[in-house]
Every structure is written in structure tokens, then in C-alpha cells.
Amino acid sequence: MTKPRVLSGVQPTGSLHLGNWLGAIKNWVELQDSHDTFFCVVDLHAITVPHDPHELAKNTISTAALYYACGIDSSKSTVFVQSHVSSHSELCWLLDCLTPLNWLERMIQFKEKAVKQGDNVSVGLLNYPVLMAADILLYDADLVPVGEDQKQHLELARNIAQQRVNSRFGSEEKPILKVPEPLIIKEGARVMSLTDGTAKMSKSDPNEGSRINLLDPPELIVKKIKRAKTDPMIGLEFDNPERPEASNLLNIYAIVSGLERQLVLNECASMGWGKFKPLLADALVETLRPVQTNYAEIIANKTELIDILKQGREKAEEVASKTIKRVRDAMGFLEA
């Protein structure tokens, strides 16, 4: 029996952080045996916001190295760089011409990011969800791991595939594109900012202190946790909307320590911040140590890593070229 295919990716927009790991990559690692997994470094998405050309390639390779350092296995998963497979851009254009503008104007992430950019907001940012749809649909993905923030984008990809491509150019018996289903990630993996428990931890937050990067050295982790926002209340608890920071830090502790919530409460419910913060910092340092050791080894063998990415690209291209041909043919293009 063929395994269901899963596709996901992270943008190389900066150093990967705890949220990217706990909310995405850690789950990917668990899917590798049961699913046919494709993971890409979505560098085309990274230029939808202003970017530094000196950093893009560096961040792309470092993101790929972190995938492997976190446990992605090249013998089980196909890892590749999005811009290396030109069908992503091509399918994006074809889908662009089929997608109503008002579907994109409704996207919450666009509205939020556009506000931050004012007059500089690019067409690419508006188009981000169509490129994401192209990424997913190219690989006939059965499932796409999505957090709350990406649900709307996946729904758009499903609508484009179903309403704009399959029903216009295909038939029920012979659909052109596979309509993917969401793979809902379990609760608790959403990591919030260290400086604001109501905002998600993010690479693009200008405040470095708001996040723990996977490659932060131990002293820096200790410092960031020490400075993390707290509240004046004694004791720690989960899920109190009045105490988002307490809930977030306790949640991070529960995930990195691997303890059930009740055990975490038994240990920490009556602790003050002064006792809890060093405990959390130690747990983070110890959890990230093997990732950092693996990363150092992988990045020291860059040529090998680039070779593996080339193999990933070839495998990805094999699948993507078949899909793009199906779409081109269905839309009536002259054969190349």
C-alpha cells in the first residue's frame, strides 16, 4: 500500500526558532516512517517580504542543515530547495490566472503583514497563498500539516484545486489536481513570544529577545529566559487567559521536558519565577544541545549537504514535472 504523501516547508527568513521546531519540524520527524514525506526550504516565499540578498543563500543552507539536525532523514524524506524546482513558479502563474483577486484580499496573514509594510507591500505578499497552493498541489500531497495560522491558506489551496482547476478543466472521474486534506497538529505546539505571550514567536520579530533560536548558545538561552516577560502573580498555571506568559513558558517546559501536563503542574504549580526560569533554561539548553551538535557536523560538510539537496531536487522534479504537464495539457497549452 502506498503511504499518504505529506508536504511542508519553512521559509529561510532568518534563524529557525523554537516555534518552527516544536510547531513544525518535530512533527515532520514523527511522520517520516508512516508517510511519504517531502520537505522544502521555501526560499521563494522568503522574498515576499524585503530580504537581504547576502543572507538568502546562507539562510537557505542553514535551514536545510537544521532540518537534518532535528532528525529529518535523507533516506526517508525528500528534502529540496523550492526555487531549484522551477515548476513552483510556473504552476503559481497558471493558478494566479485562475484565482479571483478577492480570495487573496481576504487572507488574514496578508492583511496582518501588509499593515506592517505600509506602501511597500509587494504583489508577491498578496500572492503568497497561491505559491503555497502551487507547492502543495505540485506534489499531489494527501496531507499538509497546518497550524491555526495556515488553515486559511490550505483552504484556499483546496478551493483553487477543486473549483478553479478540477471542475473547469477536469472531470470527477479524472481530476487534474489532488485536493489535499489538513493534518491538524496537536494542541500545545504553538509557541508564543517571550516578550508578549499573546503574539506568536516569529523570525521576523525585530526583538531578538522574543525568541529562542535553535542555534542560540547556552548563555544566550539563559539570558533570554531570564529576561522573558512575566507577571506579578505567584505560582504557575496553564491556560489562564489573564496570564499568557505563564501559560506559554509552562507549555514550553512541558514540551521540552516531555512531561505530561499534570506532572508539570505537580512540579511547578507553586514555584515562583526565580525558581522556574532556571529550570526552564536548563531544560532548553539540554534539549537543544544534540540539535546544535548535529548541526555543527552537518554544516561542516556543506558539499555533502548540497549533494543531498541535489538528489532531493531530482526526486521532487520527477513528481512536479508530471503535475505541471497535466495542468498545461488541461489548460490547452501547445506541447513543448
Q: Which residues bind ligand AQP (CB under 6 A)?
A: 10-11, 13, 19-20, 23-24, 147, 149-150, 189-191, 200-204
Q: Which is nearer to ligand AQP, 137 or 330 (CB)?
A: 137
C-alpha cell at 146: 497546518
Q: Which is nearer to ligand AQP, 166 or 251 (CB)?
A: 251
Yes or no: say if 271 and 233 are a contact pair by the CB < 8 Å rule.
no
In the complex, what is the shortest distance from the CB of residue 288 to ligand AQP, in angstroms, rounded to a whole number?
16
Please tell me whether residue 9 adopts helix, strand or coil conformation.
Answer: strand
In the complex, what is the shortest distance from the CB of residue 110 to ligand AQP, in angstroms, rounded to a whole number?
12
Yes or no: say if 46 and 203 are a contact pair by the CB < 8 Å rule.
no
In the complex, what is the shortest distance from the CB of residue 109 to ligand AQP, in angstroms, rounded to a whole number?
8
In the residue annotation, 113 being an active-site residue is answered as yes
Q: Which is nearer to ligand AQP, 7 or 179 (CB)?
A: 7
Yes or no: say if 273 and 225 are a contact pair by the CB < 8 Å rule.
no
In the complex, what is the shortest distance from the CB of residue 145 to ligand AQP, in angstroms, rounded to a whole number?
7
Yes or no: say if 197 and 247 are a contact pair by the CB < 8 Å rule.
yes
Closest-CB residue for ligand AQP?
23
In the residue annotation, 200 being an active-site residue is answered as yes
In the complex, what is the shortest distance from the CB of residue 255 to ligand AQP, in angstroms, rounded to a whole number?
10
Number of residues written out for the chain = 336
Yes or no: say if 71 and 304 are a contact pair by the CB < 8 Å rule.
no
Buried b (16+ CB within 10 A) or exposed e, 306-326: eebbeebbebbbebbeebbeb
CA–CA distances in Å: residue 266 to residues 237, 257, 261, 278, 284:
11, 14, 9, 17, 20
Please tell me the distance from the alpha carbon of residue 73 to that of residue 79, in angstroms, as a whole number.
9
Please tell me the distance from the alpha carbon of residue 31 to that of residue 158, in angstroms, as a whole number.
22
| Catalytically annotated residue among 3, 111, 151, 200 | 200
Please tell me the distance from the alpha carbon of residue 230 to that of residue 65, in angstroms, as a whole number.
34
Q: Which is nearer to ligand AQP, 23 or 197 (CB)?
A: 23
In the complex, what is the shortest distance from the CB of residue 320 to ligand AQP, in angstroms, rounded to a whole number?
19
| Catalytically annotated residue among 26, 113, 178, 223 | 113
Q: Which is nearer to ligand AQP, 14 or 166 (CB)?
A: 14
Where does residue 282 rank: exposed (0-12), middle (13-18), buried (19+ CB within 10 A)?
middle
In the residue annotation, 58 being an active-site residue is answered as no
How, if at all, do strands 36-41 and 77-81 pair? parallel
Please tell me the distance from the alpha carbon of residue 121 to that of residue 222, in angstroms, as a whole number.
37
Q: Which is nearer to ligand AQP, 149 or 329 (CB)?
A: 149
Q: Which is nearer to ligand AQP, 78 or 193 (CB)?
A: 193
Yes or no: say if 192 and 211 are a contact pair by the CB < 8 Å rule.
no
In the complex, what is the shortest distance from the CB of residue 265 to ligand AQP, in angstroms, rounded to a whole number?
22
| Catalytically annotated residue among 3, 76, 116, 203 | 203
Please name the helix (run of DSSP H) or strand (run of DSSP E) that holds residue 277, with its range, or none: helix 273-300
Residue 216's CB is within 10 A of a number of other CB atoms, namely 21
The residues assigned a catalytic role are 113, 200, 203
